Structure 1
């Protein structure tokens, strides 16, 4: 009896190892989907990893989403298997109005898609100037979707290209009540912190936030020589 039990145990181990090898031998996805989150054809500045898209594919037993994280320059990419997908916005995630429409993506080798959104505000005419130990940023804020009001505008300084509300060495902000007309140029000034003063350069960025929305919409980061 012990011999029979040993044989059964040995056979079980062989089966499990064979199943594991079969699973490991599945081909990895090789096709590439790339794209941008845009307004009027222009990519939007976002918090790095703060915005997520959802990719869905029908026709399989397990119907679940594939999360696609958007980079701070508005671009995204994912390595996938060929097939037909639905690309949708994650509700309540992003500095724009919700949109339940989906985009059809036919992936065969490569595919590139722009995802249009309806932002509450956009930033134009960005410029930065160093004055002694301070950085002054100037932007114009344009309201696109009027369903939410302006809450605040902020300037951020950082040591790396990744700079936003969660990644900064210094920041300053102006709340909406202190802005007489946000259609006119807005100036924000922030002191250069000691941690950046001796680095020789820093990165600056400006963000705008709508009321009731977690994510800011940003200008593209700009390097400033000290």
Structure 2
């Protein structure tokens, strides 16, 4: 999971938005600040379509290098290349629609999304209480890559309708987001639910007027 805020990436301008939720995959490239692991960098780089296409076409590139006499013929065979790219994207990295739907039953999808919603509301309530917000709507947005056969890549952000904007989060607020996933409900579990439901972006909205007096008091004491 990567928490997306203007303070965690080198290019915060990529988070400018006109409406909630702000999508990332397929629209902008983000560059994490120092502290991000190599695995996260590689996973983000793999989201770039052109680079994935190069991986799929690697056999053609190797063939042209190892057999120079056939290099011209290989370079002039676009149809096989397109077929290889399609098979790599649709069959190797992703699941077909029937296979994706079979990952989870409707009941499992509902339970997973309900659990995400409950945890998201709890996080947003604590953030709103900690900031002393009296009005407005916050959104906890969870976006995942659709590639099932790769390690899950999950982007989590708190977005405000005021602006609208992707909010800057303190270290303590980012720590609250860690509670979205655990051994009982992991990123892979959410991806399974998302693929079965056919949507990999989840937006949980919360009206801050719903923050309880107890939550506000606990934030004040804290």
TM-score for the superposition, normalised by structure 2: 0.24
Larger % of strand: which?
1
TM-score for the superposition, normalised by structure 1: 0.24
Larger % of helix: which?
2
